[in-house]
Structure 1
Amino acid sequence: MLDSPAPEVGIGTARDLAGTLFGVRGTVRRLAGERAQNFHIVTSDDGEWVLKVAHPRDTAGVDTQVAALQHLAEHAPRLPVPRPRLPLGPARLSAAWSQVTPDGVAERRVQMCSFLPGRTASAERVGAAQRTAIGRTLALLHEGLSGFDATAAPPSPWNLLEFAAVQRLVRASMPPHVPDEHAGELEHLTAHALPILHELPRQALHNDFNPNNLLLDGDRVSGIIDFGDLVMAPRVQDVAIAAGYRIAADGHPLAGPADLVRGYHRHSALNGGEIALLRDLMAARLLSVLAIAAWRAEQDPSNAAYLLRNVPAARSALLRLSTVGCDEAAAYFTRSLS
C-alpha cells in the first residue's frame, strides 16, 4: 500500500462524492494525508465533515476504521473521537467508487466522519499536565476499544509486530537517515523486545497517537483523529508510540515520556513486563518513522513535505533515547510510577 501514491482526487470530484454518496453539500478544502485523500466540508446547516477517499489498495481497512468509530460511539460516547456518517442507500459502512484514470479504473472506498476543530498537540507547547492527560486519554481509548475486533484491518508497516519488514528499510536507509550507531539498536530489538511483544495479548489500537493526531484544549485532550493505522497488537505498543513523541531536547530523555506513561498507568496499570519493553518499543517506532518516511518520500515526492514532517524530531529523539539503556529506562519508569 505504501509503495505508490493514489490517483489524484480534485476538489470538484470530492464535492460531487460528498453530495452523491452522503447527501452533504458545502464548501470543500483539501486536508493533508499519508494514504487517503482527505477533504474538509463545511455546510450551511449540517455541520462540518471530513471526506476520506482511500488508497485503491486499502479496502478492508476503511470499513474496519468506520466500525471502530461506531463501536466507540456506543461503548465510549464521551471520548472525543469523530462520529461516522454512513452512506446513503443500503446499510453499509463506506461507499464504493470507481475512479477512471489514465491507467484504467481504480476501485476506491469513500468514508465520511465529523470534523473535530481545534489545535493539534504539535502546535502547542505541551507541559507535564497535558502529557499526563494524553496518557490518561489513551488508556480510556484502549478501554473503549477493548471489545472491538480489528483483525480485518490490513497489515501495516507501522505495526511493530511487523517490524522485521521495516528493518530492511532501516538498513537500506541507514546513511544518512539512521546513524551507524543505531545498527546495534536493530540487533537488540530483534533479539530482545520483539519476541516478547509477539507473546503479549492483543487488542485494537489506534497505533498513531502522535501530536498531529491529538487536539488540545488547555490541559484537556479535545480530539483524537485519524484511525487509519488501526491494528490488533499489545497495548504497550500504543503507549510506547505515544511516549516516543514526548522526548524533549533537554532534561532527562525519559522525563516527558514518564509523564504520559504515568497518566496511562493511573487509569490502567501496566505490569512489569510491559514497563520493561517501553524503551525498546519507543526506539522501534522512532526507527520506523525515519525509515518509512524516507522511503515513502522517495516513492511520492509530491507529498514529501507531509511525509517527512516528523523526521527531524524523531531523529533527535532517537539520539537522546540511545543514551539510556533498557535496565536504566525500566528503573526510571518504575520509580516515576510509584
Structure 2
Amino acid sequence: MSVYTLVKSADLNEWLPRFAIGAMRQLQGITEGLTNSNYRLSTERGDYILTLIETAEEDEELRYLVALMSHLALRGLPCPLPICDIDGEAIHRLAQRPTLLVTCLPGRSHETPNAAQAAQIGGWLAQMHRCAESFRQQRNNPHGPNRWGGMLARMTPRLQQEDPDLLMLLRSALESAQQELFAVDAPRGCCHADLFPDNALFDGERLVGVIDFHYACDERFVYDLAIALNAWCFDEVGTPDAKRLARMVASYQATRPLPPVERRLLRPALQAAALRFALSRLHDEMFPRTGHQVTVKPPETYIRILRYHREHDIAHPLD
C-alpha cells in the first residue's frame, strides 16, 4: 500500500456522514504496498481501511472485488468486509478517485514467517480456491502474461546496455511461461494473486485475516499457489526453506488436493510467478511512479528466485 493522492480532512468530513461509522478521529497514510492510495481511518465506531483506486479500474472490476470479499467473509474466511453506505453502495468517489472502505482487521504481518504461519496460509488459500466453486463473477488477470511482453519491451533498451544476461533470462522465462503454463488448460477460478506475507495478519501464531484483494482475478489455481510459495518459502537471496515449503503444500492439499495436471504444472507455475514479480518490480524501479508516500520493492529477490527455479525443480520433492 502507498499514498499517491492526499485526502483533505475537510473533504473526508463531508464524505463520511453517508456511512454509519461516526465522525473521524484520525487519518494516517499507509506506506506498504505499491498500487493504490491507502489510509488507516479511525472513527468514533472503530478502525477502517480507506483505499483510493489509482489504476484505471472500471466500476465492474471494483464490484468484483467487493463481491469477492463479501463472498469469502460470509463463508468464514477471515478477510476485510466492505462497508456500504446508507443506500447499500460500497463504491464511491473521494478526491476524484474511486474509493472503497473496508473493515480494519487486527493483528500484524511478519516479514519473515515461520513454517506454522506458512502452513496456515496454505490452508487459507485452498479454502479460497474451494470457495471459487460457488463464486460466479469473473475478472481477467490485470497483471497476467498479456502484459509481460510489453513491460519487457519497454525495459529492453536499458537491459541491452546494462544487463544483457538478465534480458536473456527474462525473454527465455517469458517464452517458457507462455508455452508451458498459460497455453495449458488447468483448473481455475477466483485467486488472490498477491498473497505475500505483508498481506496476512497474525495474532501470535494464529492467522486473523488476509488483506489486499486488488489483484484478485480469475486465474489458474496452481499459479496462485506458486505466487504464495515463492513469497512465503524463499529468503531474500532466493534460497528455499524446505520446511516451510513442505508444510505449506501439505496444508493446502489437506483441503484441496492437487490434481495430476496441477502437479505437472507446479514447476512452470513457480517460474512464471517469479517472472511476474521480477518484471513488475524491475519495471517500477526503471519507471517509478510519483506520489506522496510511495513504496518501491527491489527486484533482485525475485530475479534470484527465478534463476533458482530455472536451475532446480523443487516441485518434484513435494509430490
Q: Give the alignment's TM-score, normalised by structure 2.
A: 0.84
Structure 2 unaligned blocks of 5 or more: none
Query: Are 1:268 and 2:265 counterparts?
Result: no
- Cα gap change, 1:126 to 1:155, in 2 (>3 Å): closer
Structure 1 pair 249–49 and aligned structure 2 pair: CA distance change class (3 A): closer
- The answer to whether the aligner puts 1:92 opposite 2:74 as a matched pair is no
Aligned length: 305
Q: Share of identical aligned residues, percent?
A: 21
Runs of 4+ in 1 over 6 A off after TM superposition: none
| Per-residue CA distance 1:93-113 (angstroms, 9 max, x = gap) | 32245x4xxxxxx4x322211
Cα shift readout 1:6-50 (whole Å, capped 9, x = no counterpart): 972324256336513424322111123433221111123x11111
Correspondence for 1:40: 40
Give 2:196's match in structure 1, choosing from 195, 210, 217: 210
| Distance in 1 separating the partners of 2:38 and 2:310 | 36
For residues 106 and 190 of structure 2, the distance between their equivalents in structure 1, rounded to whole angstroms, comes to 25
**1:63 matched to 2:67:** no
1:166 counterpart residue number? 148
Paired with 1:30 and 1:205, the residues of 2 have a C-alpha distance of 27
Per the alignment, residue 78 of structure 2 pairs with 80
Contact 1:21 1:95 in 2 (8 A): no
Letter in 1 for 2:51: K
The answer (yes or no) to whether the contact 2:237–2:301 under 8 Å persists in 1 is no
Runs of 5+ consecutive residues of structure 1 not aligned to the other structure: 100-105
SS at match of 1:85: coil
Secondary structure class of the residue paired with 2:54: coil
Structure 2: which amino acid aligns with 1:37? S
Q: 1:155 to 1:172 in 2, by over 3 A?
A: same
Highest RCO, 1 vs 2 (Cα 8 Å, sep ≥ 6): 2
Aligned to 1:237: 223
The code of the aligned residue for 2:120 comes to A
In the TM superposition, what are the counterparts of 1:1-338 in structure 2 within 5 Å?
8-12=5-9, 15-16=12-13, 19-24=16-21, 25-26=23-24, 27-32=26-31, 33-44=33-44, 46-55=45-54, 57-58=56-57, 59-74=59-74, 76-77=75-76, 79-88=77-86, 90-97=87-94, 99=95, 106=96, 108-122=97-111, 125-151=112-138, 153=139, 155-157=141-143, 162-173=144-155, 175=159, 178=166, 180-196=168-184, 199-245=185-231, 246-248=233-235, 253=240, 255=242, 256-297=244-285, 298-302=287-291, 306=295, 308-309=296-297, 311-324=299-312, 328-334=313-319
What is the letter of the counterpart of residue 148 of structure 2?
V
- Cα RMSD of the aligned pairs, angstroms, is 2.8
Moved more, 19-28 or 169-178: 169-178
Rounded to whole Å, the distance in 2 between the matches of 1:155 and 1:6 is 24
**Which amino acid in 2 is paired with 1:87?**
D
For normalisation by structure 1, the TM-score amounts to 0.80
Tell me if the contact between 1:41 and 1:48 (Cα under 8 Å) persists in the aligned partners. yes
Structure 1: how far apart are the matches of 2:141 and 2:238? 37
Letter matched to residue 147 of structure 1 = S
The question of whether the paired residues in 2 share the 8 Å contact of 1:286 and 1:315 is answered with: yes
Contact map agreement 1:96 1:109 (CA 8 A) in 2:
yes
CA distance in 1, matches of 2:238, 2:191: 30
Partners of 1:316 and 1:112 in 2: CA distance: 37
Give distance in 2, aligned partners of 1:253 and 1:63.
37
Shift of 1:281: 1.6
SS of 1:194's equivalent in the other structure is coil
1:109–1:250 Cα change, 3 Å:
closer
Distance 2:63 2:261 in 1: 33
- CA–CA separation in structure 1 for the residues paired with 2:211 and 2:8: 22
After superposition, the C-alpha distances for 1:198-242 in whole angstroms (9 at most, x for unaligned) are: x22321111111111111233322220001111011211211110
